[in-house]
């Protein structure tokens, strides 16, 4: 059983981060446009949100659109933004019914006014959700987030003061999952994942099912987390 930072077994809900990778390859293998892969990826996200609470997840943070993704072809970027807007429009009521609080993490100054308005409406509508906290990272860079947090710290810059601004009350990541077989963090939650357990799977994101999420969590629970210390067995 995993241990918490004080060496005691963990009993609380988990913070799981997911790098949702492989939409384009999923579509290419089927002779479909990349946008079809992104739409299938939205369906996978729905499955994960619905399964989260039952699997002991209290916070689910997903990497949807990185700051570097602006470099992609404009047509794909516009399609992604429209897909995101439609997701907010169609899913907010269900999130409210399911007790899911939605937060969008990342810059907003490069998003359209229409999309920002949709984000604000969805966040306000789900504000009191207390079952699962769904955090969707859009126009997000962990390095930029750390830099911005450091600039806002009042007084002495310490690990604790920086974490208070950067985390904003969100617990550190316990388990980070990346789909599609790639094995890198890609500027995602670098601070929050300092002691996260990493789980890589060859499954492409649109194919990732509830059973796959359950297996990743089962694998996590079989690991021993020491946070730099020793267990009683290792210290003997």
| Residue 165 is assigned to a structural domain of this protein | yes
Q: Is the predicted pLDDT of residue 42 greater than 90, yes or no? A: yes
Q: Is 21 a catalytic residue?
A: yes
| Residue 54 is assigned to a structural domain of this protein | yes
pTM to 2 decimals? Answer: 0.90
Spell out the alpha helix ranges (H) of the chain.
23-29, 34-52, 74-97, 113-125, 142-152, 159-167, 210-222, 232-235
Range of the domain at 48: 14-224
> What residues are paired with 17 via a beta bridge?
61, 176
Average pLDDT value for residue range 152-162: 86
Q: What is the pLDDT of residues 93-116, one digit of tens each?
A: 999 999 999 999 999 999 999 999
| Residue 193 is assigned to a structural domain of this protein | yes
Q: Which two tokens stand for residue 138?
A: 């859009």
Task: Mean pLDDT check: name the lowest of 6-15, 51-60, 62-71, 82-91.
Answer: 6-15
Instruction: Give pLDDT, residue 222.
Output: 93
- Which one of 68, 69, 187, 234 is the catalytic residue? 69
Q: Is the predicted pLDDT of residue 56 greater than 70, yes or no? A: yes
| Residue 186 is assigned to a structural domain of this protein | yes
Q: Is the predicted pLDDT of residue 84 greater than 60, yes or no? A: yes
Instruction: Give pLDDT, residue 45.
Output: 97
Q: Name the more confident of 229 and 214.
A: 214
How many domains, the chain? 1
* CATH code assigned at 69: 3.40.1180.10
Instruction: Give pLDDT, residue 191.
Output: 94
| Residue 233 is assigned to a structural domain of this protein | no
- The share of the chain scoring above pLDDT 70, in percent, equals 91
State the average pLDDT for the chain. 91
- Which one of 21, 139, 174, 212 is the catalytic residue? 21
| Residue 7 is assigned to a structural domain of this protein | no
Contacts 24+ apart (CB under 8 A), 179-184: 179/18, 179/19, 179/20, 179/21, 179/22, 179/203, 179/204, 179/205, 179/208, 180/21, 180/22, 180/25, 180/204, 180/205, 181/22, 182/19, 182/21
Average pLDDT value for residue range 124-147: 97
Instruction: Give pLDDT, residue 232.
Output: 56
Q: What is the pLDDT of residues 193-206, one digit of tens each?
A: 999 999 999 999 99
Q: Is the predicted pLDDT of residue 23 greater than 50, yes or no? A: yes
């Amino acid at each position: 059983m995993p241990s918490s930072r004080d060496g005691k077994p963990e009993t609380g809900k988990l913070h799981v981060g997911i790098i949702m990778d492989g939409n384009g390859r999923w579509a290419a293998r089927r002779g479909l446009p990349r946008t079809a892969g992104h739409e299938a990826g939205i369906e996978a996200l729905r499955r994960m949100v619905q399964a989260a609470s039952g699997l002991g997840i209290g916070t689910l943070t997903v990497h949807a659109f990185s700051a570097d993704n602006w470099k992609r072809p404009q047509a794909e970027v516009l399609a992604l933004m429209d897909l995101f807007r439609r997701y907010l429009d169609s899913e907010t009521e269900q999130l409210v019914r399911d007790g899911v609080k939605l937060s969008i993490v990342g810059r907003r100054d490069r998003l359209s006014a229409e999309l920002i308005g949709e984000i604000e409406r969805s966040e306000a509508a789900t504000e009191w959700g207390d079952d699962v906290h769904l955090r969707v990272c859009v126009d997000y860079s962990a390095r930029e987030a750390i830099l911005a947090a450091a600039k806002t710290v009042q007084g002495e810059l310490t690990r604790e003061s920086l974490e208070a601004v950067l985390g904003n009350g969100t617990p550190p990541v316990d388990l980070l999952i990346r789909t599609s077989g790639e094995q890198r963090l890609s500027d995602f939650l670098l601070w929050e994942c300092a002691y996260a357990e990493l789980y890589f799977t060859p499954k492409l994101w649109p194919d990732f099912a509830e059973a796959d999420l359950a297996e990743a969590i089962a694998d996590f629970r079989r690991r021993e987390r020491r946070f730099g210390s020793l267990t009683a067995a290792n210290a003997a």
